[in-house]
Structure 1
Amino acid sequence: MNLALFDLDNTLLAGDSDFEWAQFLISKGVVDREVQEAKNVEFYEHYKAGTLDIDAFLEFQLAPLTRHPRAELDAWHREYMDRHIRPLIGDKARALVRSHLDAGDLCVIVTATNSFVTGPIAREFGIHHLIGTIPAVDVKDGAFFGTSTGTPSFQSGKIVRVEQWLEAHGLWWGSFDNSYFYSDSHNDLPLMKHVRTPVAVDPDDKLCHHATEMGWKIITLR
């Protein structure tokens, strides 16, 4: 059996689910456009530079979830999937995932984006396993507290979270004949170096340079 790990934003998606969720909330009048877009640009520039403060970013991104009942958020998410996410899922991305699922590989999406936003997206791909940043919730009503819990699945944190997930399922890296990780970002280099078969997908400049030097496979899903 093989392990196939997939980054989500700008890898399987031709865009960023966090950014699209923010744009959706702006369109609903839930958050202020000027403030939200300015902060998104600031955080994204730090992300591209590899200097993102993940805790500050999560505090900003999770805050809007605290202001509305869970049922309302879930209804909004269904609308968000139709308007913002399904148009970002190309045939090549679906075919790549399907090829691994049909081969009987254990498929997991590993993303820094929180699991509220990304859970339904993983299911859209037919992937039942998701490792995302976990928002803290009230177990009684599912309301969000605006903070995360555990290790954010970002940069080297992705290795931590994947290994915790494997252990919880009675597995380890040696359980698999091969392990893949598909990503677009140099922020994912720690996990890409950890698997046997890293694959750069429409990579940023830093990842493209590294992948070329290392002889890693480079593909496009666009």
Structure 2
Amino acid sequence: MQLTLFDLDNTLLAGDSDYLWGRFLVDEGVVDAEFYARENERFHAQYEAGNLDIHAYQRFALAPLLTNSLERMQALRADYVERVIRPLVARHTRALLDWHRQRGDQIAIITATNRFITEPIAALLDIDVLIATDPEIVGGAYTGEIAGVPCFQAGKIERAKAWVAEQPQRFEHVTFYSDSLNDLPLLRWADTAIAVDPDETLAAAAREAGWPIISLRGEDRPF
């Protein structure tokens, strides 16, 4: 059986669900607008440069879950997914997912974005397996810290291996689709690496390695 892994942000989506969630919280008046917008931009720039401190970022990103009721945050999340995320599903995403399903592949999302944000997005895409950065929950409450290994950079390899080890079936081949330089470790680990609407660093690495470069956003179906 083949395992096909998909990054989420700027790969299956034509946007970054983590960054946009921060902007959404600012627009909805949930957080201090000036501080949160500034920090959201700062962390996003670090991510794009490949030098993000994932633990510091997740403390920032998870903080609203500590200061608002879960019911309020879940309601906001549902509104966010419907209004912001649904229109950002890339043009050919669903067709690509269906193509892999028809081949009999096991498909999964593997993303650095935390599970609170990404669970309903995986459901929107009809993907049952989500490997994400897990927020720590103690006594039924979020602590603002990460539980276990963050699903980021080389941590994605560790998380992918851990998930595979838990499965009853063997996977003979692993394919990974991503847009980001932060995913170079997992792209190099996978049997087949595919760059999707890549950033400049990943595009250069893909050309050097001979990996396919595709777009899920253009007019022409790339597969």
TM category, shorter: over 0.9
Question: Which residue is equivalent to 1:87?
Answer: 87
Q: Aligned-pair distance for 1:138? A: 3.7
Q: Which runs of 5+ in 2 are unaligned?
A: 218-223
For the 8 Å contact 2:153–2:184, the answer to whether it is kept is yes
Q: Aligned-pair distance for 1:178? A: 2.3
Asked if 1:106 corresponds to 2:101, the answer is no
C-alpha distance in 1 between matches for 2:195 and 2:84: 24
Identity value in percent: 47
Asked if 1:137 corresponds to 2:132, the answer is no
The amino acid of 2:214's aligned partner reads I
Question: Which residue is equivalent to 1:146?
Answer: 144
Question: Which residue is equivalent to 1:166?
Answer: 164
C-alpha distance in 2 between matches for 1:206 and 1:50: 10
Give the CA RMSD over aligned residues.
Answer: 1.2
For the 8 Å contact 2:26–2:37, the answer to whether it is kept is no
Q: Aligned-pair distance for 1:13? A: 0.6
Q: Aligned-pair distance for 1:16? A: 0.5
TM-score by length of 1: 0.94
Q: Aligned-pair distance for 1:139? A: 4.8
The amino acid of 2:15's aligned partner reads G
Q: Which runs of 5+ in 1 are unaligned?
A: none
Question: Which residue is equivalent to 2:118?
Answer: 118
Q: Aligned-pair distance for 1:67? A: 1.3
C-alpha distance in 1 between matches for 2:30 and 2:36: 10
Question: Which residue is equivalent to 1:180?
Answer: 175
- Deviations along 1:15-73, one digit per CA (max 9) or x if unpaired, are 01011111221122111222112112211221122111111111111111111222222
Asked if 1:25 corresponds to 2:20, the answer is no
- Deviations along 1:85-105, one digit per CA (max 9) or x if unpaired, are 001012301111111122221
Asked if 1:202 corresponds to 2:200, the answer is no
Q: Secondary structure at the match of 1:131?
A: strand
Q: Secondary structure at the match of 1:216?
A: coil
Q: Secondary structure at the match of 1:193?
A: helix
C-alpha distance in 2 between matches for 1:90 and 1:9: 10
The amino acid of 1:150's aligned partner reads G
The amino acid of 2:204's aligned partner reads H
The amino acid of 2:183's aligned partner reads D
Q: Secondary structure at the match of 2:4?
A: strand
Q: Aligned-pair distance for 1:9? A: 0.5
Question: Which residue is equivalent to 2:13?
Answer: 13
C-alpha distance in 1 between matches for 2:149 and 2:199: 25
Question: Which residue is equivalent to 2:211?
Answer: 216
The amino acid of 1:156's aligned partner reads A
Question: Which residue is equivalent to 2:221?
Answer: none
TM-score by length of 2: 0.93
Q: Aligned-pair distance for 1:126? A: 1.0
